[in-house]
Structure 1
Amino acid sequence: MRLSLLQPLIERPGPWASVYADVSHGTEDAAKQQELSAQYAADQLSDQGADAVTCRAVHDALITLRRPGESLAHAGRAVFATGGEVVLDTPLAGPPTMRGATWSPVPRLAPLLDALGENPVCLVVYVDRTGADFELRSDTAHERAGQVSGADYPVHRTTSSDWSERHFQLKVENTWEQNAAEIAEAAGQAFEHAGADLLLLVGDVRERRAVRDRLPDRLRGVAYESEHGGRASGADSTRLDRDIAQVRAGLEQDHVLDAVQRFQTGEGRSDGQSSVTSGVPSLIEAAREHRIDTLLISPDGGDAGREVWVGPDPDQLAVRGTEMQYLGEVHPAPARADDALLRSAVATGAQAVLLHHSDPVPPGGLGAVLRWSTPVTH
């Protein structure tokens, strides 16, 4: 998951209202249902001790109409607020598995891993001989991202063997190559600007290949092609949507498998060093020392909901409340281990991966691949 999305949540001390809501009201009384859901969330927060202005901010956010580009079907929302202000309001592709509102010292972050997943962003490049249109696709976005136009003459070859026609044909080839190079360069710039994770080329096979061959080296490993759809209006979009979903799901699965394999490899080292850790005490120590590279979380593991102690700073976390005075916090508060570790991961630029039942999980459901190896102690 892109933990950078959560950066605004570590810049405030809290306490935090965290709300996961189903806003897919498609009935005739949708407005009434939306109001009831918003009021229920506000009442939940109030019952847990949240201040009135924060409850009102959450209520108002949940009754706001969907923003442009958000899905109208099976939609969800994750809303985080503190001090009377909504700090993060992110749409979800479907109703969240865990619904409800919590008021806690740190944001309730772990369910967002399940709700958003990796959510890789795909830059779709619709190519033809004269240029390309760019589009961004993710679970919650379907938006135009610019276009590029190359030379439009000459672009069509002939079948004549006359010398002049062969000369003209060479010009066509040159025009194609020039346009393909311009499209590839613009695609690279759009990819970087959007922070995309993968790229899908759509169009005639020769035009796709011409652009792919000219992509920057850094993009070729995440570039794919689809034979469905095209730049022209009316092109087949149903099968293209399937192709986009398939390459995005493949990338997400690859990331999870990579994290699991790195954890397993780190566990099995025979050189007296370890590049992984598990167990709440060891993970907290690694988090305080900024050693976590990738945090692995299984929501069903017993350690995920274990109580730890935190302060307002992401580095202030400990197994016991009495330890917090040495970290500069005299009024520690209890928090879930998964949320506290995720907050630290956001602050230190680490990654996080949600593991499911079929994945080999670390003991207790929490583990980490470390940024550098440490000696194994027994």
Structure 2
Amino acid sequence: MTSTQVRTTVAELAHADGPFVSLYLDTSGQSADTARQVELRWRAARRRLADDGAPEDLLDQIEPLTTRSHPDGDTLVVLADATGVRVARQLPDAPPREVARYGPVPHLLPLLRWDQRQLPVLVVATDRTGAELVAMRPDGDEITESVTGETLHITRSHPGGWSQRRFQQRAEDRWEANATLVADRLADLVDELRPRVIVVTGDVRAVQFLRDKAPSRVADLLHEVQGAYDTTDAAVEQAVEVVRRLADADVAEAVDAYQRERGQADRATGGASDTLATLARHQVATLMLVDDPDLLERPAYAGDRPDQVGTTSAEVNALGATDPVRASLGDVATRAALAGGAQVLSVPADLADQVPDGIGAILRYTT
């Protein structure tokens, strides 16, 4: 999950005035000289930013973040403007490519690409006495709790004779009572946190009791993992993979919906010019951008307002802008979408043929 030091949202940055420093610095490595390698990468990135016109005092504010970035994660993300550092986050995965740019529009898509795979999730490791619960939220915060029930006569005994069934039934009753306590607490957390999935592991019988006792809004979210995942730490690791698969499935489902709308000539558009035009009219519900730099780095233009966008400066002038600036298509479209309250989805390159020209949108309404 992520670690956030400065809590400015990407939506807030979409409304901010530029220019912006956008830094995605590779801080990965396991060798003894990793810190030195990170320092060298930052020096090279700082030179590029300075060459682009970034103020030295702003770069001075960013530098301390780079010196302590290892070993907190494998990517340091810094977004800054004239007011200072607006976002500083450490991500656990190395960046597919480093970014260090200073320009009129913030480069938000790599961060959004990471965030779209960070769904809220509950992890449960349960046994006959209760459960350990971990709630993981997309902002990186975690909540850890223990639910402990009655332990008396919790183990089935085998005394023989007439008492055997009585002891076994008492154990079953305790297990069920403890499962009810866990299910009740899970219901509270589901109502509070709205998780996408509950990853559960542990004693097979305890898991079954939990399923039986959970209300439907909890039971419908349960995803059981067994095998080596019988502790919360191991289950959390497995939960990360479960969430990633769900997030990828969400993107694929959205692409399918986009294709259906296009097939009906209904609430969808594709291509740079048409998509930017719908962004300018605040029609977009979901913006789709294919993860391909060759497509997203094509030039586009923007005005002072985020909704003043187009593929040419003349198109932006027609929207009332007096001095359009040139920026990458992906950045211009992302800022306009976020400022207009639209969702932004990064589409993997293997689905590129489903989104013509690398950019498209599902619309709120048609004109």
For the superposition of Structure 1 and Structure 2, which TM-score range results when normalised by the shorter chain? 0.7 to 0.9
Kindly report which structure 2 residues correspond to 1:185-334, keeping only aligned pairs within 5 A, or say none: 185-191=184-190, 193=192, 196-229=195-228, 237=234, 240=235, 243-269=238-264, 273-300=265-292, 303-324=295-316, 327=319, 329-334=321-326
Taking structure 1 as the reference length, what is the TM-score of the superposition? 0.81
CA RMSD of aligned residues (A): 3.3
Contact 1:302 1:364 in 2 (8 A): no
**1:21–1:332 distance in 2 versus 1, CA, 3 Å:** same
SS in 2 for 1:274: coil
Q: Does 1:335 align with 2:308?
A: no
More helix by share: 2
Contact 1:92 1:139 in 2 (8 A): no
1:178 aligned residue = 177
**1:291–1:164 distance in 2 versus 1, CA, 3 Å:** farther
Contact 1:93 1:139 in 2 (8 A): no
Taking structure 2 as the reference length, what is the TM-score of the superposition? 0.83
AA in 1 matched with 2:33: D
Q: Within 2, Cα distance between the matches of 1:44 and 1:11?
A: 25
The partner residue of 2:339 within 342, 347, 353 is 347
Aligned residue pairs total 360
AA in 2 matched with 1:251: L
Q: Within 1, Cα distance between the matches of 2:194 and 2:306?
A: 26
Contact 2:117 2:243 in 1 (8 A): no
**1:299–1:164 distance in 2 versus 1, CA, 3 Å:** closer
Q: Within 2, Cα distance between the matches of 1:343 and 1:61?
A: 25
The partner residue of 1:52 within 28, 49, 56 is 56
Q: Within 1, Cα distance between the matches of 2:294 and 2:228?
A: 47
Kindly report which structure 2 residues correspond to 1:66-77, keeping only aligned pairs within 5 A, or say none: 66=70, 70-71=72-73, 75-77=74-76
What are structure 2's unaligned runs of at least 5 residues? Answer: 3-7
Q: CA deviation at 1:136?
A: 4.9
**1:213–1:83 distance in 2 versus 1, CA, 3 Å:** farther
Contact 1:294 1:369 in 2 (8 A): yes
Contact 2:285 2:342 in 1 (8 A): yes
Q: Within 2, Cα distance between the matches of 1:243 and 1:369?
A: 33
1:370 aligned residue = 363
Q: Within 2, Cα distance between the matches of 1:158 and 1:7?
A: 59
Q: Percent identity?
A: 28
Kindly report which structure 2 residues correspond to 1:69-108, keeping only aligned pairs within 5 A, or say none: 70-71=72-73, 75-108=74-107
Q: Within 2, Cα distance between the matches of 1:325 and 1:141?
A: 41
Contact 1:307 1:337 in 2 (8 A): yes
Q: Within 2, Cα distance between the matches of 1:37 and 1:60?
A: 14
Residue deviations 1:228-255, cap 9 Å, x none?
Answer: 34666xx994xx5774354233212311
Contact 1:96 1:115 in 2 (8 A): no
What are structure 1's unaligned runs of at least 5 residues? Answer: none
Contact 2:26 2:38 in 1 (8 A): no
SS in 2 for 1:89: strand
AA in 2 matched with 1:361: Q
SS in 1 for 2:244: helix
SS in 1 for 2:307: coil
2:5 aligned residue = none
Q: Within 1, Cα distance between the matches of 2:178 and 2:193?
A: 22
